[in-house]
A and B are shown apart, each in its own frame.
Chain A
Amino acid sequence: VDMATQLNLSDSDSSDLSDQSVFTRRSNRSLRIAEQERRKKEEEDPFVLALKYFSEVEAGTPVTGNDELENNLVRVEKVAFSRGLSPEAISVMLDFAMSLRMGNPCARVLKCLLPASVVPQEAVVRAIVWLTVRKLPISTQTLHFLVLVLFQCPFICHLLYLLTRKENGKPGFDIYFSGRQPYLLYLLSLYKVFCPELVTLSIPSRMKSGFKNHISPWKSALITVQKRNDMQVASSISLAFAVRDKTASRKRKHAHLELPSLSPVTITEPQAAQSSSRKLVPMQQIQSFAQLLQNMHRIELPAQMGSLLGSSLALQYLDCVQDESALLRLNFWLGYTLHEEFLFCSDGGANKNPEEALQFLNRLLSVQHFLQEGFNSSDAFMYKFLNVWDGSLLRPQILGLLSNIPVIPSSQIKTLLFDPLMQLFFTSSLFFKCGLIECLNHMLLKWLTWHSAYALEDDLDISLNSHTNITLSGFKDSVMELVHFVGRLASVGLQLEGCHSLLLSFILDFYETVCDTFLKFGLPLVVMPPPGVFYPAFFAADPVSVDRLAFIMHRWETIHLVQSKPWNWYLEYLFTQGFDGLKDFVQNSINQRVMMAGDGCDNVTQSQKLGSAPHIKQPLLS
């Protein structure tokens, strides 16, 4: 039958279009066929049929035992929970629910009103009209869901504002209510977010927990649908109904590690509010980068700056607008949190909740990575913390924070950095040594990158006060100090660990970066590995280390500008030193083997071999 229908249609159409070209006729026909097929599919689609049912069902149809109603409702629910309902579907369902054609709108119908995109304005208006006209007795739970659905519509708050505004812009209604009406409170708290100056109410913060039981499955279903449709989760939901996991933290006395909520400023200076012609947009209303750019000049920072650490948009904004007060506020909060959690705790605070501390530091690290620099307060904290750190608590995070420290003037670098690190280094495990060398490697890299990023600035003569005059040479001094320090650490570390190849690998990584100081970053520095690093690499048992040393040598050889043959000079220097470094290396290797092995004879043979090995051949020096 279908085929016949199609043929008939195409025949009748072709007779009308006889004067068109064959090609267009054919393409038109295929378009029409596609259109018809689609329409047919839609008409047969159970979901569409169900919607049709709900829009056409008569008032008074019995509810209980009505299989048709049940089936259609199931179909609608299926679609709703998988991909959400289109605006038209929402319209139809909401209309059905509110018009009470089939009794009281049951929560089930409202529960499935999960929007795929938006809730249309007209549906909202109609729903409110039904509410007011019919004066229906609605149960609390139903009303909860209704409120939630309505608030999916972005216009609802504007609507509220319009409804409640008097001529002169002041609010035109007072809220009098007695007893507990939590849903109205939620409405108000949400309203307060958008128009804080109109809601001069103090809303208790604890009431939000009451809503949780009803709506959290619904809320999670909504989030799933929206995520599936690749939408940004509506912030209005998360704003008012955010249920923070307070189970653990409520018990704690000091809940430092929680980021404060992103809330707008509650007290506005009276003169500022009236006189400013432009309305400031609170930060929490900014949802996307495009919005940020649009409102760049009138963004209002939140009441508590610590909340910005949770939002990358906000951080981007902060990075651009160099507001000293804002940064200082953020630094105060951050410094306070770090100090309280790790430095001032007398009862081993960090040990009590290591999970939260870990998450907090990870977030801080990701923020620093995002901004490509650290914070004053975290630097100050690090300098203090290094003196009391045991080297194992949250090691990767602490080393990560350490590598983000900016350039330290060479007069301070010893007390602030080297002394505590030396203490930690020599009393730690192999893995810590490796970690620290890697951290210092990253630190050097970041210093060099910072220098090259600002290399265009000629004005490098910075005098803070009479006894600090930082110039380019000051930066060079700091880098030089750092490299020499790592050299010292590496030499002794390799001795202590018996030239362990893992440690050697990290150290050679560092020296590759040192090569880069001149080659990549243009800083006129040439620093060779000290004897304590050179010999272990040169005589290493594994070929990889020797290869890497050779690579470093090769890179230096390509520098013709600085000194014609730096390796020559280096080896001459080794020679003049009487090969003390080599003697140390050999002696140390012997001692290591004696300590480690149990069998005596083998040791003797080994040591004899080592004793006779080091005849430095002439070609090396030429």
Chain B
Amino acid sequence: HSGVVKRRSKSQSYRRSIRTCFGVASGLGLTPALTARRMNTSRKAPRSQNITEKVKPEHLELLVKTEWQLSYVTPLYQFRHTQLKSYSRQLSAFIAAEKQEGLAVEVGGLQNTFKVSFSVLQGLAETSDDPETVLIQVQSKPMFARQEDPPKTVWCGWLSCINGNPEYLQSLPKDFTCLPLFCSKGAEDLSSLVKSWLQRTFDCCFGPLDINQTTLQWLAALWTNCHMETNIQNLKMIWTLPVLPPLQVTYTVDSDDVLDLWRSTRESSAEKSREAEDEVCIDFSEVTRFMQGLMSHFYRHFRVDLSAGELNQVSSALGSAKVNGKIKISSSRYLISIFSLLTECALLKMPI
């Protein structure tokens, strides 16, 4: 524990103020146009990656084809990847105690109700700054199960940081572990219990991570781009229009057609597209033009201007994303790139 008491110096105060100012000024903006500037305006097109070598097949099975609820987490204080067993015991006791009123539950004691396991999900961390992904599973025996029945997983969640901004990660002191993306599936009350325990133990904060319009548009464009390698079958978008009664439009475009549109959008920015095949960069302006193309096509046919409404959901054979923070990845090939995008969104929510 630090026993050194030194008076805060002027330079320190000034430096802190400068850092805050520059940090905010570079990321200022809450209107959609400015948000786009803050998020990466151009990103590499996702390549099909075979990550089955990096990630265990049973973990992959867990991750794909499941709809996850997203949250963002502020950095965890004194989280140790080496103490996972202890965390498992503590969280088991906590959940058991909260669930059963009036009883205190001994940590590490035998109780058959809930079993929690913390484990490391290796293979997802991309850069050297990324901490390893942590998987949390809660198992319990159903009410009328027989003794020999194995316990069922009733709740599952994972904390990760995939391709996190290295500047930000390096600026945090050593005691902090930045795992900003939290995905969970299972009963809501268990989710809140797990979050509450994590908050109390590691002094972090959880907040809902909505997938905003910009990100949904990015996903639409990126998935369309993936059609060059993997068949996405179709691109489905769900819009809501602010009329009374509210109108919901489901706009499904065949995969080949949407790829043609995408290609034509990209060709109009001729200077950029003559790059080496493995370094294809997509700029956000192309994404905007692509979306505008889709919307004007719809308008031509139905006389309804979709830009007046809000994009709620984008889905394809590769996965689906909803504005309320639900994501599903159907193919492990593009898992890393999609979750890199989501990690970026989570990092944008960091208060400082």
Residues of A within 8 A of B (CB): 175, 179-182, 185, 188, 200-207, 210, 260, 263, 266-267, 280, 297-300, 303-306, 320-325, 328-329, 331-340, 343-344, 346, 373, 376-377, 379-381, 383-384, 387-388, 406-409, 412, 415-416, 450, 454, 457, 459-460, 462, 464, 468, 470
Task: Select A343's contact among B9, B18, B30, beta carbons within 8 Å.
Answer: B30
CB distance from B200 to the nearest CB of A (A): 6
Q: Which residues of A contact B25 (CB under 8 A)?
A: 383, 412, 415-416
CB distance from A179 to the nearest CB of B (A): 8
Total count of chain B residues near the partner, CB < 8 A:
62
Q: Which residues of A contact B3 (CB under 8 A)?
A: 297
Q: Which residues of B contact A373 (CB under 8 A)?
A: 13
Task: Select B201's contact among A299, A303, A306, A340, beta carbons within 8 Å.
Answer: A303
Q: Which residues of A contact B102 (CB under 8 A)?
A: 179-182, 185, 204, 207, 210
- Decide yes or no whether B74 CB sits under 8 A from chain A: yes
Chain A, Cβ-Cβ closest to B72 = A336
- Decide yes or no whether B107 CB sits under 8 A from chain A: yes
Closest A-B pairs by Cβ, 9 of them? A335-B351, A454-B10, A180-B102, A202-B93, A336-B205, A406-B17, A202-B97, A204-B97, A332-B74
Chain A, Cβ-Cβ closest to B99 = A204
Q: Which residues of A contact B15 (CB under 8 A)?
A: 462, 464
Q: Which residues of B contact A306 (CB under 8 A)?
A: 203
A304 to B200 Cα, complex, angstroms:
6
Chain A, Cβ-Cβ closest to B210 = A346
Q: Which residues of A contact B96 (CB under 8 A)?
A: 202
In the complex the two chains form, is A180's CB within 8 Å of B103's CB? yes
Q: Which residues of B contact A380 (CB under 8 A)?
A: 20, 23-24, 351-352
Chain A, Cβ-Cβ closest to B206 = A336
Q: Which residues of B contact A203 (CB under 8 A)?
A: 97, 104
Chain A, Cβ-Cβ closest to B3 = A297
In the complex the two chains form, is B13's CB within 8 Å of A406's CB? yes
Given known contacts A333-B205, A380-B23, is B107 in contact with A200 (CB within 8 Å)?
A: yes
Q: Which residues of A contact B20 (CB under 8 A)?
A: 376, 379-380, 383
A180 to B103 Cα, complex, angstroms:
6
In the complex the two chains form, is B18's CB within 8 Å of A387's CB? no
CB distance from A320 to the nearest CB of B (A): 5
A300 to B2 Cα, complex, angstroms:
10
Given known contacts A325-B176, A416-B24, A462-B15, is B90 in contact with A207 (CB within 8 Å)?
A: no
Task: Select A338's contact among B13, B14, B199, B351, beta carbons within 8 Å.
Answer: B351
Chain A, Cβ-Cβ closest to B107 = A200
Q: Which residues of B contact A180 (CB under 8 A)?
A: 101-103
Enumerate 26 A-B pairs (CB-CB under 8 Å) in ascending A order. A179-B102, A185-B102, A201-B93, A201-B107, A202-B93, A266-B201, A299-B1, A303-B203, A321-B2, A321-B5, A331-B352, A332-B351, A332-B352, A339-B207, A346-B210, A377-B351, A379-B17, A380-B20, A380-B24, A383-B20, A383-B24, A408-B17, A454-B9, A454-B13, A457-B10, A470-B14
CB distance from A403 to the nearest CB of B (A): 15
Task: Select A457's contact among B9, B97, B100, beta carbons within 8 Å.
Answer: B9
A548 to B200 Cα, complex, angstroms:
56
- Decide yes or no whether B126 CB sits under 8 A from chain A: no
Known: A299-B1, A331-B351, A383-B20. 12 other contacts (CB 8 A): A200-B107, A201-B93, A202-B90, A202-B107, A204-B102, A207-B102, A373-B13, A377-B351, A406-B16, A457-B9, A460-B11, A462-B14
In the complex the two chains form, is A468's CB within 8 Å of B18's CB? yes
In the complex the two chains form, is B28's CB within 8 Å of A415's CB? yes
- Decide yes or no whether B175 CB sits under 8 A from chain A: yes
Residues of B within 8 A of A (CB): 1-3, 5-6, 8-11, 13-25, 28-30, 74-75, 77, 83, 86-87, 90, 93-94, 96-98, 100-108, 172-173, 175-176, 199-201, 203-205, 207, 210, 349-352
Q: Which residues of B contact A459 (CB under 8 A)?
A: 11
A248 to B103 Cα, complex, angstroms:
26
A182 to B90 Cα, complex, angstroms:
22
A210 to B103 Cα, complex, angstroms:
13
CB distance from A259 to the nearest CB of B (A): 13
In the complex the two chains form, is B207's CB within 8 Å of A384's CB? no
Given known contacts A201-B105, A201-B107, A206-B101, is B21 in contact with A344 (CB within 8 Å)?
A: no
In the complex the two chains form, is B352's CB within 8 Å of A464's CB? no
CB distance from B350 to the nearest CB of A (A): 8
A335 to B24 Cα, complex, angstroms:
13
CB distance from B24 to the nearest CB of A (A): 5
In the complex the two chains form, is B104's CB within 8 Å of A202's CB? yes
Given known contacts A202-B105, A384-B24, A407-B17, is B352 in contact with A376 (CB within 8 Å)?
A: yes
Chain A, Cβ-Cβ closest to B92 = A202
CB distance from A195 to the nearest CB of B (A): 15
A276 to B61 Cα, complex, angstroms:
45
Q: Which residues of A contact B104 (CB under 8 A)?
A: 175, 185, 188, 201-204
CB distance from A479 to the nearest CB of B (A): 14
CB distance from A523 to the nearest CB of B (A): 14
CB distance from B10 to the nearest CB of A (A): 4
In the complex the two chains form, is A336's CB within 8 Å of B21's CB? no
In the complex the two chains form, is A384's CB within 8 Å of B1's CB? no
Chain B, Cβ-Cβ closest to A468 = B18
Q: Which residues of A contact B90 (CB under 8 A)?
A: 202, 266-267
Task: Select B18's contact among A332, A340, A409, beta carbons within 8 Å.
Answer: A409
Determine which residue in B20, B28, B75, B98 has the highest number of CB atoms from chain A within 10 A of its CB, and name it: B20
Determine which residue in B22, B75, B87 has the highest number of CB atoms from chain A within 10 A of its CB, and name it: B22
